Chain A
Amino acid sequence: MSPVLGAALDRVDGRAKVTGAARYSGELNLPNLAHAVLVGARVPSGRIIGIDCRQASVADGVHTVLTHLDLPRVAAQPKLFPSLAGLTAHGQSFFPMQDDVVHYAGQPIAVVVADTVERAEYAGSLVQVNYAETPSATLLDQVRDQAYEPQRIFGGLVPGRNPDRGDPESGLRDAELTLDLTYRFAANHQNPLEMSTTTAVWDDLDRLTLYDSTQGPTATQLSVAELLGLPPTRIRVVSHFVGGSFGAKALIWPHVTLTALAARQVGRPVRLTLSRDQMFHSCGHREEQEQRIRLGADRNGRLAALTHDKISLTSHFDDWAETSLESPAITYAAPNYAGGYRLARGNTITPTFTRGPGEATGMFALESAMDELAHTIGIDPVELRLRNHADVDPDTGKPWSSKGLRECYQRGAELFGWAGRDPAPGTRWEGRWQIGTGMATAAYPVAAPISPQRARARMYIDGSVVVEAGISEFGTGALTAMTQVAADGLGLPVDRVRFVGGTTDLPNVAAAVGSAGSGATSSPVHLACTQLRDQLVRQAVADQHSPLHGADPAAVVVRDGRMCLRDRPEVGETYAELLGRNHIPDVETVGTWMPVLAPMTDYAMHTFGAQFAEVAVDADLGLVRVRRLVGVFAPGRILNRKTAHSQLMGGMLWGLSQALLEATRMDPNTGRWANASLADYLVPVNADVPEITIDTIEVPDPVVNPLGVKGVGEIGIVGTSAAIANAVHHATGRRIRHLPITVEDLL
Chain B
Amino acid sequence: MRPVSYSRVADVATAIGTVTADPGSTFLAGGTNEVDLQRIHVARSRRLVDINDLPLRQIEELPGGGVRIGAVARMSDVAQALPVRRRFPVISQALLLGASPQLRNMASIGGNMMQRTRCGYFRDVAAACNKREPGTGCSALTGVNRGHAVLGTSEHCIATHPADLAVALVALDAVVLTQGPAGHRQILADDFFLLPGDTPDREHAISHGELVVAVEVPPLPMASTSIYLKVRDRESYEFALASAAVAVAIDAGVVTDVRLALGGLATKPWRARQAESVLVGAPATIESFRAAADAELAGAVPHGMNAYKIELGRRTIVRALSTVTGDARMVSDDGNPP
Contacts and interface: CB of A to CB of B under 8 A. Distances in A.
A, B bound:
yes
Contact of A679 (B1, B118, B241): B118
A661 B233 CA distance: 7
Interface stretch (B8-16, B173-181, B247-255, B311-319): B311-319
A669 B141 CA distance: 11
A675 interface: yes
A672 interface: yes
B2 A742 contact: no
A11 interface: no
A680 B118 CA distance: 9
Interface string A616-628: 0000111101000
A636 to B, nearest CB: 35
A620 B314 CA distance: 10
Contacts of A672: 124, 126-127
Contacts of A661: 233-234
A666 B118 CA distance: 17
Given A667-B139, A669-B139, A744 B308 contact: yes
Interface in B88-147: 118, 120-121, 123-127, 139, 142-144, 146
Contacts of A60: 3
A665 B315 contact: no
Interface stretch (A75-83, A118-126, A464-472): A118-126
A661 B236 CA distance: 12
B178 to A, nearest CB: 29
A414 to B, nearest CB: 29
B149 to A, nearest CB: 16
Given A122-B1, A621-B231, A747 B143 contact: no
- Say whether chain B's binding surface is mostly helix, strand, loop, or mixed: loop
Interface string B285-316: 00000000000000000000000100110011
A679 B316 CA distance: 23
Contacts of B2: 122, 125
B184 interface: no
A682 interface: yes
B3 A685 contact: no
B238 interface: yes
Nearest to B143: A667
A623 B234 contact: no
Interface in A656-687: 660-661, 665-667, 669-670, 672, 674-675, 677, 679-680, 682, 684-687
Nearest to B125: A125
A685 B312 contact: no
A10 interface: no
A158 interface: no
Contacts of B126: 42, 670, 672
Given A661-B234, A679-B118, A743-B308, A670 B319 contact: no
B231 A125 contact: no
B319 A621 contact: yes
B120 A680 contact: yes
A684 B127 CA distance: 28
B269 to A, nearest CB: 20
B144 A675 contact: yes
Interface string A69-113: 000000000000000000000000000000000000000000000
B155 interface: no
B3 A747 contact: no
A743 B144 contact: no
A688 interface: yes
A623 B312 CA distance: 11
Contacts of A622: 231, 308, 312
Contacts of A42: 126
Interface string A500-544: 000000000000000000000000000000000000000000000
7 contacts: A121-B39, A125-B41, A667-B139, A670-B127, A682-B233, A682-B234, A747-B311
In order of increasing CB-CB distance, the 7 nearest A-B pairs are: A674-B144, A744-B308, A687-B235, A687-B236, A42-B126, A665-B144, A667-B143
Interface of A: 42, 60, 118, 121-122, 125, 620-623, 625, 660-661, 665-667, 669-670, 672, 674-675, 677, 679-680, 682, 684-688, 742-744, 747
